[in-house]
Chain A
Amino acid sequence: GQQVMQIPQYQHVQEGEDFTTYCNSSTTLSNIQWYKQRPGGHPVFLIQLVKSGEVKKQKRLTFQFGEAKKNSSLHITATQTTDVGTYFCAGLRWVQAGTALIFGKGTTLSVSS
């Protein structure tokens, strides 16, 4: 079945450095979503990408969807301690009763000041 792979699994940066996490799917995705989970918390929806080659920005966060709709990335510019958490990508998969969102294993970001 469809798998969503995410790298790296962990990343530690100094505050102010940039950070990027990558997401790859074994099959073409109809859309891809990104979530952030703070330690001890629940996943919170960040953004959804639908179009091939789409790029969206949210302040210091830049999200990209690949031309083939099989890969995506999240880039954070000048990280802050508030960026700490695990970032998940999730791809939409066609299943029997409709669609289901399949998550990658996430990238855990730690930031030291």
Chain B
Amino acid sequence: NAGVTQTPKFQVLKTGQSMTLQCAQDMNHEYMSWYRQDPGMGLRLIHYSVGAGITDQGEVPNGYNVSRSTTEDFPLRLLSAAPSQTSVYFCASSYYRDRDSYGYTFGSGTRLTVV
């Protein structure tokens, strides 16, 4: 099993550009989420999904868009990149039963720099 796969690992964007961060999992997990990690800020939730076709906003959703057309994939779109979006982005997945989640499996992260 590959677990959670994120691509790309590194990316440099110019202000105003758009791009999609890819996330795929092969564990048949219902729950997937995106976090950003900034120094001293911990992990902050951007968007999450409890199944195909169901997504919702997290703590810091502005400037990001998501969709969940399949169980396996949960891409994160940056609509118009800003320097404030320079961060490390992590995708995570887990089982989801009776509105309870279990231990998350994280991808290796995407290090994004916006100049």
Give chain A's interface residues, CB within 8 Å of chain B.
Answer: 1, 6, 9, 30-31, 33, 35, 41-45, 47-48, 88, 90, 92, 94-106
A42-B90, A97-B56 given; A48·B50 CB < 8 A:
no
B contact residues, range: 20 to 34
Label chain B's interface by main secondary structure. strand
Binary A-proximity of B9-35 (CB < 8 A = 1, otherwise 0): 000000000000000000000010101
Asked if residues A45 and B99 are in contact (CB atoms below 8 Å), the reply is no
**Is B43 among interface residues, defined by CB-CB distance under 8 A?**
yes
A102 vs B103: C-alpha distance in the bound complex, in angstroms? 13
Q: Which of the residues B45, B104, B107, B109 comes within 8 Å of A33, measured between beta carbons?
A: B104
Q: Which residues of chain B are within 8 angstroms of A102 by Cβ–Cβ distance? A: 45, 59
Asked if residues A101 and B42 are in contact (CB atoms below 8 Å), the reply is no
**Is B64 among interface residues, defined by CB-CB distance under 8 A?**
no
**Is B108 among interface residues, defined by CB-CB distance under 8 A?**
yes
Q: How far is the CB of B50 from chain A (nearest CB, A)?
A: 4
A100 vs B48: C-alpha distance in the bound complex, in angstroms? 7
- 24 of the cross-chain contacts (CB-CB < 8 Å) are A1-B59, A42-B107, A42-B108, A43-B43, A43-B106, A44-B106, A45-B103, A47-B103, A90-B43, A92-B100, A95-B48, A97-B55, A97-B56, A98-B31, A98-B96, A100-B33, A100-B56, A101-B101, A101-B104, A103-B35, A103-B42, A103-B45, A105-B40, A105-B42
